[in-house]
Amino acid sequence: MNKMTKLFVLCALTLSVNVLVSINVSATTFTFTAIPDADESQLRTRFEKVALYLEKKLGVEVKYVPVKSYSAAVTAFKNNQVQLAWFGGLSGVQARRLVPGSKAIAQGYEDQFFKSYFIAHYSTGLAMSENFPDITQKTFTFGSKGSTSGRLMPQYYIEQHLKEKPQQAFKRVGFSGDHSRTIAQVQAGAYQVGAVNYTVWESALAAGKIDTNKVKVIWETPVYPDYQWTIRADVDAKFGKHFADKVQTALLNMDSPELLKSFPRSSFVKAENKDFQPVEDVAKQIGLID
Amino acid sequence: MITIDNLNLHYDKTAGYNTDIKETSTQVIFDLSLTINEGEKVAIIGPSGAGKSSLLHHLYQELQGNAALCSQRQGLVDNLSIYHNIFMGALARHHWLFNLVNLIRPFKKELSNVSSLCQQLELDQPLAKKVDKLSGGQRQRVALARALYQQQNIFIGDEPFSALDPLMASRLLETVLKRHKTVIMVMHDRELAMSAFDRVIALDKGHLVLDSQQHSVDHQQITALYQTSAVA
Amino acid sequence: MSQLQQVKNTHYPLGYWQKVTLSILLIALIILPFADIEIVNFDPFLELTRMVDGLMTPDFFATEYLFQAIIQTVNFAILGVCLGLILGTPLALIYQHPIISGCCAFLRAIHEIFWALLFLQIFGLSPLTGILAITIPFAATFARVFHDIINQSSDSPLESIDSRADIISRFTYGKIAQVMPQLMAYTRYRFECALRSSAVLGFIGMPTLGFYMETAFRQGHYSEGAALLIIFIALIGTIRYWCPPKLLGVYLVIACVTLIDIPNVDSSLLVRFISQDILPSALANASRLAEVQWSSLYTWFSTLISEQAIPGALATITLALLALAVSHIVTLNAHAMASKHLWPTPLTWLGQLILLIGRSVPEYILAFIFLMLLGPSMLPAVIALAIHNGCVIAYLTVKQSNSIAPQQMQMSKLNQFNYHIMPSIYPNMMALMFYRFEIIVRETAVFGILGIMTLGFYIDSNFSEIRYSNALVLITCTALLNVAIDILSRRLLKLPKTSQTSC
């Protein structure tokens, strides 16, 4: 028991030292998070380069925190564990509602006119069309539950056109959890129809991962705003005057293809909270936010 | 020292010995009155099922805290060593912290005490040996050593030598008698009981049938007792 | 054993365990038509070849910070188990109190993932989240199992101990010392479980192996996924070599030192979480009791119960009962596969390896693979649960059956197995199954995240929609469901008390 007591004291000490050290670190570190819509491998390796870039431009220590889901990103943002986040359209709206005063400062060039594709397995016999396809009583998969391009917008258009909730309109509704999963599942015929982020589709197509004999695009949604950088209101107080503006400038000036490829976007352009009003309206309409 | 008056004991399968009367229980001791004085060495004999153990446990409970018990069930902890099992007799003499530390790392002084006790009891096994590796006779001596290590004035034993050869039994009995002022012991060896104890009590079917304090011990009477019981 | 009763006349009634077994299978058959187990897949072969390819060419260098991930997986497990022991052991001593056992059953019933999702709101992505998520359910489990084990110990040593000795000394020497080997063995087993839980917490963002494993499988990087699985299985299969009990203290210190930074805990987050986030909007918007809109609160609650809790609970029970029946079949086969009474030793190693893989691969990954093969329905989840739990039970029963000495009788191995080994272990195997049922119900939660509409699905949805009040109500429903099942199964079954039935 003697030994055990010693061990405990030792553990308690190391733990408290850890806590103390990290308090010091977190007081001066500017932390951000990002989940790209496509490739999620090597997240830290890729985004630590972005952190390095920001560190150079901002003159403060910058740290990247990997997260698993949009909701985890929103939570971290709400809890001030990250001050800056690369959000999807919906998660950005959720985050800004939870942290009053926080604002969208930049979006990807592509995100100004983002769209989703509806894709279908060949056995459905559906083909590309201008009009909303007849997909009632098919099996249908969304992407992740909190995704704008994989869930929110597709669900909105489904409800608009079919006048029913997806659960009633379709024989079976699934959430694949990820755009590349949606493609794989529709390609395998596990679901007949699916909704997918258009950039993910295009890049998978370019990489030769899609057999267009098995799965093809049957409809594309009208455009809507999607991914954006959102920053907390209190960063100016914490990191100095005009800090948010400095971050915005740094993001807009990011032109290294290597860094941009991580998102993947061609460049970043200015954004404001009101740009995302359509997303918020849609989310309210389909009952995803109150 | 202790007097019991018109004792009635019931044995309940679910709750053990009990003085309460329940439907499920069977009576094991009937209207038994007995006085044991300090300094007496009392042997209890009788055929199996006579209620000896019940009486003994009742006495032990009455004497709570002043007597060391060496029960027939032994109550050894198989996962502990010989040393720890014997040390259990001394738990009350030390602070719990001492006891806990001793469980992890035995103290030198206690080790040597236990070691000399083992020698007296002719137990020549390594002290660190787990008791589940011991033979029946060795286990019985560990249980005996634990009771002796309590260093009480009163010793209560329930056939503590049943697995030992008669010669060793009489040697160990001598040790027990020497180390305690009062001894109450259930004996299966009638001869030894009558030769070594100054008072012999005999039970049959829950009744006190003989108390050598009042009568002179009658060998034939005792032999008859066992025989009738065997027939019945 | 009852199968071996003496025949007195030609009428031969079913034995107790036969009845129980038949009921399990019968119940599964009855609910089968109501369960969603359709196979819908046209050509899974493209994805399947990719998976097999990945398995053939595991890429151990594809994962960034791999070593760190392994260390964190072990750290969470060690710290979780140690804290669980510290909290659970004292609770075991007072577990007989109905309030304590009720609370423990409740805490136990909530899956680690849900604990983590809750703590995530308060501590963020801090190691505390992961450690506490393991600690709490583990402490509650330790409390129950330790209580059961201690209760099985004999009272006779206590009888001989001087009654003047203090309670602590009497208890440690008289009771705990007796059952120490069982307590240690169970703790070792739970450590293996903690490693699994630790990995599973990665699925929701803790920096363990599961973090990368989930990403790799979800995004189709099967070579990376296969490598991670192999590492994980090897980690679990070799516990006794890298973590002997003697070194546990050393590992504990290492765990504390190498734990990633714990960010400072912001107490205002806790306050905010309790006072705002978890309140339904009807309550959160009202500043005084008088302003509460009771009718909207009622609507909110009844909608939640009727649209999410009840369908979720039905799906959960259906899935769990089907999984129980299939687990039974898997257990019987898996046990036979690794029994030394049937096969020569080298073949039993192979069986043991299969058991190791079956119990180590997280159900989530198993279900994921079967989802690709069989299409989206309850079926992949049933199979995944059955394989995982079947292998765990088989692993525990093989341990027991291999210690049985074969009968000195001239009969074939198969007869020996059927007439001697199986009757001896069957009651214990079934008892393990029922203990495991509680765990199966908990584990259905994980499949919710994969899209099978159990209670876990709705809880996950509510977390991703930032509706903590709903999530909390549903988590409570899950816990109550589990407690109810636990009480019911204890009432219905008179499980053998003396057997070592802890898992």
Q: What is the pLDDT of residues C450-500, one digit of tens each?
A: 778 889 999 989 988 888 889 999 999 999 998 888 788 777 766 555 444
Give yes or no for a contact between C125 and C206, defined as CB atoms under 8 angstroms apart: yes
Q: How confident is the model at residue B10 (pLDDT cuts 50, 70, 90)?
A: confident
More confident residue, A248 or C43: A248
**Residues of chain C contacting A69 with CB distance shorter than 8 Å:** 204-205, 464
- Chain A, nearest residue to C375 by Cα: A190
pLDDT recorded at residue C374: 83
- Please report the domains of chain A, with CATH numbers, ordered by start residue: 2-111+225-285 (3.40.190.10), 115-220 (3.40.190.10)
Give the SS3 label for residue C6: coil
In Å, how far is A45's CA from the nearest CA of chain C? 7
**Mean of pLDDT over chain C:** 85
Nearest CA-CA partner of C382 in C393, C372, C392, C371: C371
Number of neighbouring beta carbons within 10 Å of residue A213: 8
In Å, how far is C25's CA from the nearest CA of chain B? 37
**Residues of chain C contacting B74 with CB distance shorter than 8 Å:** 156, 160
**Mean of pLDDT over chain A:** 88
The DSSP string of C67-120 is HHHHHHHHHHHHHHHHHHHHHHHHHHHTTTSHHHHHHHHHHHHS-HHHHHHHHH
In Å, how far is C166's CA from the nearest CA of chain B? 7
What sign results for the dihedral spanned by CA atoms A37, A38, A44, A47? negative
Cis bond leading into A264, ω under 30°? Answer: yes
pLDDT exceeds 90 at position C230: yes
Rounded Cα distance, C138 and C349, in Å: 30
What residue spans in chain C does CATH classification 1.10.3720.10 cover? Answer: 13-42+280-503, 45-277
Give residue-wise pLDDT tens across range B17-56. Answer: 555 555 566 888 888 888 888 888 999 988 888 888 889 8
Report ipTM (2 d.p.).
0.85
DSSP secondary structure letter of residue B230: H
pLDDT exceeds 60 at position B16: no
In Å, how far is B70's CA from the nearest CA of chain C? 7
Position C126, amino acid: S
With tokens 């530390």, the residue in question is B101
pLDDT exceeds 50 at position C98: yes
pLDDT above 70 coverage of chain C, percent: 92
Give residue-wise pLDDT tens across range A157-213. Answer: 999 999 999 989 999 898 988 898 899 889 988 899 999 999 999 989 998 889 999
In this complex, the chains that touch A, judged by 3 or more CB pairs closer than 8 A, are B, C
pLDDT above 90 coverage of chain C, percent: 35
Highest mean pLDDT range out of B66-70, B191-195, C380-384? C380-384
**C13-42+280-503 has CATH 1.10.3720.10 classification:** yes
Rounded Cα distance, B121 and B148, in Å: 10
Both tokens of residue C85? 């022991």
pLDDT recorded at residue C355: 93
Strand bridging mode B199-204 / B207-211: antiparallel
pLDDT recorded at residue C1: 45
**Residues of chain C contacting B152 with CB distance shorter than 8 Å:** 162
Best probe of the A interface among B95, B98, B102, B104, by most A CBs < 10 A, is: B104
pLDDT exceeds 60 at position C342: yes
Give the SS3 label for residue C114: helix
CB proximity B63 to C under 8 Å:
no
* Cβ-defined contact of A69 to C204 (cutoff 8 Å): yes
pLDDT exceeds 50 at position C278: yes
Best probe of the B interface among C156, C162, C168, C182, by most B CBs < 10 A, is: C162
CA distance from start to end of chain B: 36
- Please report the domains of chain B, with CATH numbers, ordered by start residue: 1-66+153-232 (3.40.50.300), 77-151 (no CATH)
Position A114, amino acid: F
Both tokens of residue B172? 């160990």
pLDDT exceeds 80 at position C265: no
pLDDT recorded at residue B228: 62
pLDDT recorded at residue A25: 47
Give residue-wise pLDDT tens across range C162-183. Answer: 878 888 888 889 888 888 888 9
**Mean of pLDDT over chain B:** 84
**C45-277 has CATH 3.10.20.740 classification:** no
User: What totals of helices (H) and strands (E) does chain C contain, helices first?
Assistant: 24, 0
In Å, how far is A74's CA from the nearest CA of chain C? 8
CB proximity B27 to C under 8 Å:
no
* Nearest-by-Cβ selection for C157 from B75, B94, B152: B75
Q: How confident is the model at residue B82 (pLDDT cuts 50, 70, 90)?
A: very high
pLDDT exceeds 70 at position B191: yes
pLDDT recorded at residue A22: 46
CB proximity C154 to B under 8 Å:
yes
Q: What angle do CA C233, C239, C243 make, to 5 degrees?
A: 150
pLDDT recorded at residue A27: 56
Rounded Cα distance, C218 and A40, in Å: 10
**Residues of chain B contacting C181 with CB distance shorter than 8 Å:** 79
* CA neighbours closer than 13 Å in the CB half-sphere of residue C289: 0
* Nearest-by-Cβ selection for B76 from C157, C162, C172: C157
State mean pLDDT over A207-225.
93
pLDDT exceeds 60 at position A2: no
pLDDT recorded at residue C498: 44
* Cβ-defined contact of B100 to C168 (cutoff 8 Å): yes
pLDDT recorded at residue C245: 80
